[in-house]
Amino acid sequence: MKTDLKRNYILAGLLLSTFLAAIEGTVIGPAGPRIVGDLGGVALLSWVFTAYLLTMAVSTPIFGKMSDLYGRKPVFIIGSLLFLAGSLLSGLSQSMEQLIVFRALQGIGAGALIPVTFTIIGDIYSIEERARVQALMSSVWGISSLVGPLLGGYVVDTFNWRWIFGFNVPFGLLSLWFIIKYLQEKIEKRNVKVDISGAITFTIGVTALLFGLATGGQQFAWTSPWLIGILAVAVISLILFLIVENRAEEPLVPLKLFRIRDIAYSNVASLLASALLIGLTSYLPLWIQGVLGKNATMSGLILAPMSIGWLFGSVYGARWIISKGSRYTSLIGMVFIAIGAAGIGFVTEETPVYMMLLSNAIYGVGFGLSFTVFTIIAQSSVGFSLRGASTALNTFTKSIGQTIGVAVFGTLINLRIVAQTASGTTSGLQVSQDDINNLLSPEKVHLLPTELWNELRHVLQNSLHALFIVMAVLAVIGVVSVLGLRNRAPEAEEEGKTSGISN
């Protein structure tokens, strides 16, 4: 079988696995009310989302390092099996607690799949080809952000919420078969030492940090001894992690990567861009449904231009990074993101729909340009032995940006709403926590009395407007961060690298 055809089969498997892992962060959204109605535990619903993002963020650098030590193929197989097992068990869950545990297992599998897919592409394609293929992979994330909510809503309405997990299985098995059959590696056997201490301190530190951010000001007051203790554990564990990594023979996250200028600056920008992505896809639909009173279909349609723009940005980003350099390309991308963020930041009830469509399209072009460049920088700045760790670090940065973004943005909105309703509405109507919960849920907002909804949607508008302004400020910081990149094209590959294709 010809090499190009074999690479196409491998690429098909990687695209499938990436799409499944990426879409799981959004596809479950429309199923939330149905899950609560079936399993109960409304107070635990947010952890169905957080468990997946958290374990994916924590496990990403661990599996990235394992792929450098033991090869990409075994890590991909392990990740696929964990992801499929988590999917199957999530669909069979009989309680909210079971669902959260199985979603966490699913996230661990995704933490292996996402970085190793990018790394495999770096192994089997030359630098000239890689830019084009990475652009295609990057566009999968934009498409998943649109398709996820729409597909989730359709599956839930047509079949059952359990099927949003079940449809992963056949496509995941097909992806796994492509990789097992066509990907072949030549890994040099060597004595290795897995950084167990680093993995433990890192996992505890990041988990405690994300838990604190997700519950602060909501389940726990910011002055609560429990929350202060959790954040203290996070700080101590992360400090210990840095100490361990400096001394480890085979560090989990090689800190020397941050000494590479392009990797350091691109990861900062990647963190900010990922937070903006989750903020846009999570809270603009809330504006459309909660403030404007439109339906879920309209939310999907208004977000659609972002995915289209992302595709165009990915294509041009792949071309420009070779011809114009990384700083120029990523700067243009972050400027587009800042323009889109500014457009959304000035949205009001009277803003025409076409203005939101235009802002989302500009946002998408920026995401496509930026994320493509950041991935290529991660791979082209190091040699083969560190490529998996560097790619995993970039993927981890994106995951942690989304996870922290969900926690911080959600806290900001809740605090703004509470501040405006603590003494009732402007007309004297009393507001309960259930009213606020209904306001924040597009599926339940219709339960509010008309007069109260009219009052609360202005509260929601003010709260979301404050969030959109914060996002615009973050976008400007992102523009500044990429100025530190060197304006150079990725360097050519060395001869004799592993091809990764079976004969």
Looking at the structure, do residues 240 and 98 belong to the same domain, yes or no? no
11 and 157 belong to one structural domain = yes
- pTM for this predicted structure: 0.74
Q: Give the domain range for residue 243.
A: 196-247
Residues 359 and 276 placed together within one structural domain of the fold: yes
In a domain, 490, yes or no: no
Print pLDDT tens along the chain (503 aa). 566 778 888 888 888 888 887 777 666 765 665 676 677 665 566 677 778 877 887 787 778 777 777 888 888 999 999 999 999 999 899 888 899 899 999 989 988 887 788 778 877 877 667 767 766 776 676 677 667 766 766 777 777 778 888 888 888 899 899 988 888 777 655 555 667 788 788 888 877 887 787 677 667 777 889 999 999 999 999 999 889 888 887 777 777 788 888 888 888 999 999 889 888 877 887 788 777 877 666 776 787 788 788 878 887 877 787 777 778 888 999 999 999 999 999 988 888 888 999 999 999 899 988 887 887 787 777 776 677 677 777 877 887 787 778 777 877 877 787 777 766 666 666 766 666 666 655 556 667 777 777 777 788 888 889 999 999 999 999 999 988 887 665 554 443 344 444 44
- Residue 451: inside a domain: no
386 and 364 belong to one structural domain: yes
| Domain contains 222 | yes
Say yes or no: 303 and 169 in one domain.
yes
Q: Are residues 299 and 416 in the same domain?
A: yes
Q: Same domain for 119 and 74?
A: yes
Residue 439 lies in a domain: no
Asked whether residue 216 falls in the same domain as residue 191, the answer is no
Q: Which of 227, 247, 267 is the last residue of a domain?
A: 247
Instruction: Please tell me whether residues 325 and 277 are part of one structural domain.
Output: yes
Own/partner contacts of 377-382, CB < 8 Å, gap of 24 or more, are: 377/262, 377/263, 377/266, 377/326, 377/485, 377/490, 378/118, 378/263, 378/266, 379/118, 379/119, 379/122, 379/130, 379/490, 380/127, 380/490, 380/491, 381/260, 381/262, 381/263, 382/257, 382/260, 382/263
Q: Are residues 319 and 239 in the same domain?
A: no
Domain assignment present for 209: yes
In a domain, 441, yes or no: no
Total count of domains within the chain: 2
Output the domain CATH number for residue 24. 1.20.1250.20
Q: Are residues 259 and 286 in the same domain?
A: yes
Final residue before a domain boundary, out of 211, 227, 247: 247
Tokens representing 271 are: 């963190």
Q: Mark whether 185 and 201 lie in a shared domain.
A: no
